[in-house]
Chains A and B, each alone.
Chain A
Amino acid sequence: MKIHIPTPLRGYTSGLETVSIPGETVDSVFQQLTITYPELKPHLFTPEGKLRSFVNVYLNDDDIRYLEGKQETAVKDTDELTIIPSIAGGMNL
């Protein structure tokens, strides 16, 4: 399936905006992604293996955190994953 990589992480995917990774579930696709591109791993996951809080992952138009199966959700080859770090801020009080 296709995985879309955000601008700041493309330095770890040889500059690619979109990579194709096989897998049966979101989790297995992510495992394969970080095997193929090992430098991505610390940017996506904590040392304990949890997805970093500021990293959002969308399966097509759905946030995987809210999918019933979460990272165990089954995927098809035609599905697309988008990795998108959060954007927020604001001034000091």
Chain B
Amino acid sequence: MLRIEYADYEALRAHGEETYPNECCGVLLGKNIAGEGDSAAAINHVRQIVRAGNTRTDSAHNRYNIAPQELVKIQRQARGLGLDIVGFYHSHPDHPAQWSTTDFAEAHWLGCSYIITSIEQGKAATTNSFLLTGTGEDDKKFEDEPIQIDIPANLAAAEAHNQKGSA
């Protein structure tokens, strides 16, 4: 399962709207909390998201790549915060929020979460997360992963109030 704060969730969706019609990409920093027994029950708990540049300027509307040099810096940043890289996010402009054959072929971070947001006509639509499981390149696979969004109590209360008011 992926666990993320509401503000971070909204921020990564907004990133996809900003870069539309190109793909956005970024890194999820947090902690992997092991589940009991079954590794599929582990939680990637996101504490911070980091925007990254897309180096695929030759084909940014349908490809993304994070420069390894930037990743090294982000990993260093994570280490300084006592966090780990637990996943990545990118957008699919005017395309479903499902992983593609390219996404799968280029996915190498086993145990990490890959978030994909579909951006329809410039607006963030569906956001899905996929956990890369397996022991190596030969048996890796993407599994659908539930997303738990943590909403601060005051925001949830305000939302409930608004709904009551509009009812």
Contact in complex: B62, A91 (CB < 8 Å):
yes
| A interface secondary structure, majority | mixed
Complex Cα–Cα for A6 and B72 (A): 10
Contact in complex: B64, A90 (CB < 8 Å):
yes
- How many chain B residues sit at the interface, stated as a range, is 35 or more
Chain B 61-78, CB within 8 Å of chain A: the 1/0 string?
011111011011001100
Complex Cα–Cα for A90 and B86 (A): 19
Contact in complex: A88, B109 (CB < 8 Å):
no
B85 at the A/B interface (Cβ < 8 Å)? yes
Chain A 37-64, CB within 8 Å of chain B: the 1/0 string?
0000011000000000011101001010
Q: Are A8 and B111 CB-contacts (below 8 A) given A84-B72, A86-B65, A91-B62?
A: yes
Contact in complex: B79, A88 (CB < 8 Å):
no
Which of B62, B66, B68, B99 has the largest number of chain A CB atoms within 10 A? B68
Which of A6, A7, A82 has the largest number of chain B CB atoms within 10 A? A7
- How many chain A residues sit at the interface, stated as a range, is 20 to 34
Give the Cβ gap from A9 to chain B, nearest Cβ, in Å.
8
The one of B65, B75, B100, B107 that contacts A91, using a Cβ cutoff of 8 Å? B100
- Chain A residues 11 to 67 lying within 8 A of chain B, measured CB to CB, are 11, 17, 42-43, 54-56, 58, 61, 63
Contact in complex: B112, A90 (CB < 8 Å):
no
B17 at the A/B interface (Cβ < 8 Å)? no
Contact in complex: B101, A61 (CB < 8 Å):
no
Contacts of A93 in B (CB 8 A): 62
A–B pairs, 19, beta carbons within 8 Å: A4-B75, A7-B86, A7-B111, A7-B112, A8-B111, A54-B108, A63-B69, A86-B108, A87-B25, A87-B27, A87-B65, A88-B64, A88-B65, A88-B102, A89-B102, A90-B103, A92-B101, A92-B102, A93-B62
